[in-house]
Structure 1
Amino acid sequence: MTLPRGIVVFAALLRTASAAALEIPPDPSLNESVLDLPTPAGRLRTTLFVPGGKGPFPLVVINHGKPEGDAATQPRFRPLAAVGFFLARGYLVAVPMRGGFAGSEGVYRAASCDSAEYGKRQAADVEAALAVLARRADVDRSRILVVGVSSGGWASLALGARGVVGIRGVIDFAGGVRLHGCPSWQADLADAAGTFGGRSRVPSLWLYGSNDSLFPEPVWRAMFGRYRQAGGRAVLVSYGVFERDAHTLFTTRSGLDVWSEPVESFLRGLGLPASVTLPRFVPPPAMPLPGATSFAALSDWRAVPFLAGPGRQGYRLFLGKPSPRAFALAADGAWGAAWQGDDPAARALATCRRTSRAVCSLYAVDDTVVWSAPRR
């Protein structure tokens, strides 16, 4: 299916029974809250981030991707770099979890070999959430932007073809759906893009990289070409190679440095706010990372210091997770791990510090051990 772009954090102490997922509490500094929006298809778990003041604010709806495995176990999507970008420009940010995901009611239905139908089903959930959000007094229903990544980008393109009043534009980050077991999924994806383009009346911005792990360049170029040929108003930003995987651009702090300028230009063209008016929300730079050491091999979980059973179990779990990722620990046995999402090194350290009275340090980042034994 599509790439997991949600934040997953695990932590434990020596005395804990096992590693467990931590539900991240709302962040007051971002005016974050979690609501269950009532829709005809069931309640949809939705995270809101609200700028200061009474509004009404322009609304940006951010649509998540699909991780491998059970959709219900996916945590709330919190793309903090993007959230900060839009908050700083005065937008109210809503991140709805579609049916069957992360506390939302309903059952997630996997894609068949019909990517257009899949996009329409996912877009229906977003439209239902948007209908509830548009009734809020602090939302300017005439200024709505729809943004999505991976399968959420695909849902956003499908929503742009539904003629929803108030949507000014769509931004698609590496959108698409990978149809497993379907030999002609690439052609089907291009055909579906043509269907959406023929029905869409709103401008769209497409951002794709050349080292995308899910959608190779010929696939997304064919999609974009068919969308435009069918009459869709779209601009493509082909930004080349991005780190290890271009599919992670939207969910990483370093990706913001790539996409902020073309997105600002797109917003200006739509007559939407594009300049920073609330600098307190501007995301900080990603923390600098230490260099590799020769302390131990990354895979040698027995060599990791300080940790007992649960911590070692957590480290072995960490080894199976995709990059970007980080693992932190402390001398009292506390530890934290984070992968994907925004600045995993900072998040791993923050998780470790929640349960530690000692100093937390990074042990591993991506595929490298960065920890050194303290000098005596």
Structure 2
Amino acid sequence: MRSTVLSMLSLLGLFIGSVSAETQVDATSLHKDIREAVLRVPVAVQDAFGRDVAGDLLVTTFKPNGPGPFPLLIISHGRNSEKRGEYGRQRFESAARFFVRKGFAVAAPLRLGYGELASQGDPENSHGCSRPNYAPALAAAARQIVAVAQAMATQPDVDASRLVLVGQSVGGIASVAAAAMRPPGLVAAINFAGGHGGSPTVHRGEPCQPAQLKRLFQSYGELNAGAEAPTPTLWIYTENDMYFAPRHSRDWAEAYRSGGGLVDYRLLPAIGDDGHRLFAAANDVWQPLVDEFLTQQGFSQSGVMKPPPGTEFAPLSDVEALPLHSFTAHEGYKKFLLSKPPRAFALNSDGEFGYASGEDVLSRALGFCQKRKGKPCSFYAVDDKVVWRPQ
């Protein structure tokens, strides 16, 4: 199956190069419990003027424990043209942990034109608001997404014949564009707040030339549905998206559907000050929706975490009852008690602990506890309850 996937990917006209491990990343910054690693993937694309832009993408990967092979999921980032040189290694840790819990190997690339690769060209530049040229920009992004799938297919614990694409903002529409290329093994695509040419300060909610984007979405639907049954896609937008107002995202979804694409469009209530950030800032909201969608596509392993029930082990405020007796652990628990719910505190028998408050607290608390050694942690307290059950 893997050789078939590689052969079909080469037919897409993608640059094929060898994948290498990144040696410049501090190993202590990698989270062992989700097998975080960093790779280099060579790619070459063309910009809107037909110029070649090439480089080695910095790709962060996460995997479940075990031999696999694991289905593959690729997360694609958005775009800030003014700060594209400041982009760092992409991780999306909360989202990555969710998808790893669902059994996926996850790859999050930093695309050409961003961060350390910004000086080599900007193939995703749409060339101004008055007369944008979105098609080549999105084709370049889509080809990089498929190239990462090609590279990950060479890994023995990755099953690239079961591929899911996920993206935020420009990464969202680029994932739809990549789905239109019908890469081998594609099962589904998820578009979070996808679009291009928006500005919350200059023209809030109104992207440049939305009709052009509508035509592109329709063409992506036509291409995706052209050869086989259309790929299931989930599109998630919000009422207060400061880049793309709901009337535009509705139009785009209908255009994609009219082209033959299969789309489940969800418009969520307002999230924070700008719902455009829902992928990074509202994991507790979107994870159940995505869990349900992916279960329908055959990925039945749950990724949503639920708080354990309370116990009578000790009163919440009893710091001395904590199974860890170090000064550092007690001070950490005191800080947890001072935080406001939602909150969670986790620990393990090696004396490691982690706590979090705010959004996605269960996953984040476990992540802080398990990141260094990778040894599993258990919850001691969640919100206003002790949930610890001595082994």
The two structures have a TM-score, normalised by structure 2, of 0.62
Q: Does 2:218 match 1:191?
A: no
**Equivalents in 1 of 2:254, 2:338: separation in Å?**
40
Cα pair 2:197 2:208 within 8 Å, conserved: no
**Equivalents in 2 of 1:266, 1:117: separation in Å?**
30
Note the C-alpha offset of 1:211. Answer: 0.1
Aligned counterparts, 1:301-312, within 5 A: none
Q: Residue 170 of structure 1 corresponds to which residue in structure 2? A: 189
1:239 to 268, 279, 301: 268
**Counterpart amino acid of 2:288?**
E
Q: Residue 126 of structure 1 corresponds to which residue in structure 2? A: 145
**Counterpart amino acid of 1:159?**
A
Compared with structure 1, are the counterparts of its residues 126 and 183 closer, same or farther at alpha carbon in structure 2 (3 Å cutoff)? closer
**Equivalents in 2 of 1:127, 1:261: separation in Å?**
27
**Equivalents in 2 of 1:114, 1:197: separation in Å?**
19
Q: Does 2:298 match 1:271?
A: yes
Cα pair 2:35 2:63 within 8 Å, conserved: yes
Q: Residue 360 of structure 1 corresponds to which residue in structure 2? A: none
Q: Does 2:252 match 1:216?
A: no
Q: Does 2:133 match 1:108?
A: no
**Quick one: higher RCO (CA 8 Å, sep 6+), 1 or 2?**
1
Unpaired runs of at least 5, structure 1: 1-21, 280-286, 292-340, 351-376
SS state at 1:207 partner:
strand
Map Cα deviations across residues 283-332 of structure 1 (whole Å, 9 max, x no partner): xxxx89969xxxxxxxxxxxxxxxxxxxxxxxxxxxxxxxxxxxxxxxxx
Q: Residue 21 of structure 2 corresponds to which residue in structure 1? A: none
SS state at 1:35 partner:
strand
1:78 to 84, 87, 91: 91
Map Cα deviations across residues 239-290 of structure 1 (whole Å, 9 max, x no partner): 12112111111102xx1221122211211221124424999xxxxxxx8996
1:39 to 38, 43, 51: 43
Compared with structure 1, are the counterparts of its residues 50 and 231 closer, same or farther at alpha carbon in structure 2 (3 Å cutoff)? same
Unpaired runs of at least 5, structure 2: 1-25, 45-53, 225-229, 307-335, 341-358, 369-391
**Counterpart amino acid of 2:58?**
R
Note the C-alpha offset of 1:114. Answer: 2.2
SS state at 1:76 partner:
coil
Map Cα deviations across residues 30-87 of structure 1 (whole Å, 9 max, x no partner): 3211111133443110001111011110111000011242423211122111111011
Compared with structure 1, are the counterparts of its residues 89 and 231 closer, same or farther at alpha carbon in structure 2 (3 Å cutoff)? same
Aligned counterparts, 1:1-376, within 5 A: 25-40=29-44, 41-104=54-117, 106-109=120-123, 110-112=125-127, 113-178=132-197, 185-200=209-224, 201-252=230-281, 255-276=282-303
Map Cα deviations across residues 316-361 of structure 1 (whole Å, 9 max, x no partner): xxxxxxxxxxxxxxxxxxxxxxxxx988xx99xx9xxxxxxxxxxx
**Equivalents in 2 of 1:95, 1:238: separation in Å?**
25
- Aligned-residue Cα RMSD (Å) equals 3.1
Cα pair 1:209 1:241 within 8 Å, conserved: yes
Residue identity (%) = 31
Q: How many residues align?
A: 268
